[in-house]
Amino acid sequence: MSNSAALAPSSRAAVFLAFSLICFSSHVLAAGHPHYADALAKSLLFFQGQRSGRLPPDQAVKWRSNSAMSDGSAANVDLTGGYYDGGNNVKFNFPMAFTATMLSWSIIEYGGRMEGRVHDARAAVRWATDYLLKSAMTTPGKLYVGVGDADADHRCWERPEDMDTPRDVHAVSASAPGSDVAGETAAALAAASVVFRAADPAYSRRLVAAARDVMALAWRHQGKYSDHVGGGVSNYYPSYSGYKDELLWGSAWLLWATKNSSYLNDLISLGANDDVDVFSWDNKLAGARVLLSRRALLDGDKRLEPFTRQAEELICHILPNSSSPSSTTAYTPGGLMHRRGNVNMQYAASASFLLTTYAKYMAASHRRAFSCQSHGVTHRALRALAKRQVDYVLGDNPLGMSYMVGYGAR
Ligand SMILES: *[C@@H]1O[C@H](CO)[C@@H](O)[C@H](O)[C@H]1NC(C)=O
Ligand SMILES: *[C@@H]1O[C@H](CO)[C@@H](O)[C@H](O)[C@H]1NC(C)=O
């Protein structure tokens, strides 16, 4: 991994934790279970702490005030708003858009169980998508992909309210293509359009129209944004996995948002069938497979059955070797998935999201079990493993310590 992994482990892990917590938020607080509703509320508060731009009157994190109010001025455009990256003041649209996509997917699947928090969760999505809409729609033919100079920013420890580091503007276009960042931005806009379909239909239509344009740019002009964009993104958030995964993921979200089967033809034509066992801001293949299996399992769309098979192979890699002979995932003695020496929680959290979500699709389609070689796997087993991961993060671990900032006694 690059030095990006060393930037801000705790804050970035907290962002990713939100996705999985949301899955469990409505469980009744019973003896021995963490307080999921409290954890959900705090993970949503985290997003307020990361807000850039002009803050609204209902901002609950009061120590944050307006910042980066002239973002975009280097290109004579308005790019205020959005979120800072974990632990620094750069706006990196590539991981920001992924975060927005995952928040939206969480709301789509589990919003009905978030009780009073669904409004805050939608607000967290909208803070990203308002900015991503500006990034997509301000200059025809261009997609802005970030503001700031990552190297200068990382040399200087300042609050965003006080910062005096350069606010360079970065963009992709036909002559400087970035299908990775464009595909992820399209995914975020399309997923959010589903979230707002009933809550704000006009906003939803704007989102889906922008998603279409950005996805068309991603397909028509293919390339990796880190080959064309400066500002240090190639040292922090290049797409190591290339851009095919974002073309698949973006098209899968557009298929859902528009029901236009041309996206189905596009995504099948990709043949993106590499074996994966991880889901992250970099590689979206795993998420796309689970997302597409929804349509295969719930809507009986036979053309998507290969994605169900791939999703199940992926899960066989994630399960511990005691329940899956094809496991490729190590677990610590305390039971936490262990992928990397640093920023590990994001991988445990994103894998947990896929486990509960696939379990949900299985249950809804009466698919009781599948097998990892000869070992049968039920949706209950997937949920139990995901719960184990989330509980570990919240303090059910050998040190009895919460790994979520602000949650738990220690
Ligand atoms: C479906 O999408 C394709 C490609 O973006 C477009 O050319 C076509 O007009 C769309 N069809 C409908 C019915 O919107
Ligand atoms: C199974 O996983 C455990 C924990 O990750 C590891 O210690 C052990 O070596 C693995 N066993 C096999 C047969 O791979």
| Segment 218-229, tens digit of pLDDT | 999 999 999 999
- Beta strands 91-92 and 142-147, pairing class: antiparallel
Q: Which residue's CA is the closest to the ligand 1 atom numbered 13?
A: 260
Look at 152 and 115; give whichever has higher pLDDT. Answer: 152
- Any idea which ligand is nearest the CA of 215? 1
Q: pLDDT grade, residue 8 (50/70/90)?
A: very low
Domain annotation for the chain: domains and CATH numbers: 10-393 (1.50.10.10)
How far is residue 222 from each of residues 93, 109, 176, 181, 382, measured CA to CA in Å? 18, 31, 9, 11, 37
- Any idea which ligand is nearest the CA of 320? 2
Q: pLDDT grade, residue 201 (50/70/90)?
A: very high
Residue 12 has pLDDT above 80, yes or no: no
Look at 87 and 310; give whichever has higher pLDDT. Answer: 310
Question: Which of 212, 217, 260 to probe ligand 1 with, by most ligand atoms within 8 A of CB?
Answer: 260
Per residue in 96-131, pLDDT tens?
999 999 999 999 999 999 988 999 999 999 999 999
The pLDDT score that the predictor gives to residue 233 is 84
Distance 263 CA to ligand 1 centre (A): 9
Quote the CA–CA distance of 219 and 285 in Å, as a whole number: 17
Cα end-to-end distance, the chain, whole Å: 30
Q: Is 145 exposed, middle or buried (0-12, 13-18, 19+ CB in 10 A)?
A: buried
129: tokens are: 């998508």
Number of other residues whose CB lies within 10 A of the CB of residue 141: 11
The pLDDT score that the predictor gives to residue 32 is 65
- Any idea which ligand is nearest the CA of 264? 1
Quote the CA–CA distance of 164 and 26 in Å, as a whole number: 43
342: tokens are: 């640093």
Give the residue carrying structure tokens 């949920």: 383
Determine the average pLDDT of the residues in 211-216. Answer: 98
Residue 23 has pLDDT above 50, yes or no: no
Look at 12 and 78; give whichever has higher pLDDT. Answer: 78
Q: pLDDT grade, residue 249 (50/70/90)?
A: very high
With a 6 A CB cut-off, is 262 part of the ligand 1 pocket? Answer: yes
Q: What's the whole-number average pLDDT of the chain?
A: 92
AA letter at 79: L
Q: Which of 311, 318, 276, 275 is nearest to 296 (CA)?
A: 311
How far is residue 98 from each of residues 11, 103, 361, measured CA to CA in Å? 16, 9, 22
Q: Which residue's CA is the closest to the ligand 1 atom numbered 10?
A: 260
Q: pLDDT grade, residue 5 (50/70/90)?
A: very low
The pLDDT score that the predictor gives to residue 28 is 39
**pTM for the structure as a whole:** 0.94
Q: Which of 132, 149, 133 is nearest to 97 (CA)?
A: 132
Q: Which residues contact 377 (CB under 8 A, 6 or more apart)?
A: 312, 315, 316, 319, 323, 324, 369, 370, 371
Residue 385 has pLDDT above 80, yes or no: yes
Distance 332 CA to ligand 2 centre (A): 10
Tell whether the torsion through CA atoms of 28, 32, 36 and 41 is positive or negative: positive
Determine the average pLDDT of the residues in 260-266. Answer: 97
Quote the radius of gyration of the chain (alpha carbons, Å): 20
Distance 335 CA to ligand 2 centre (A): 12
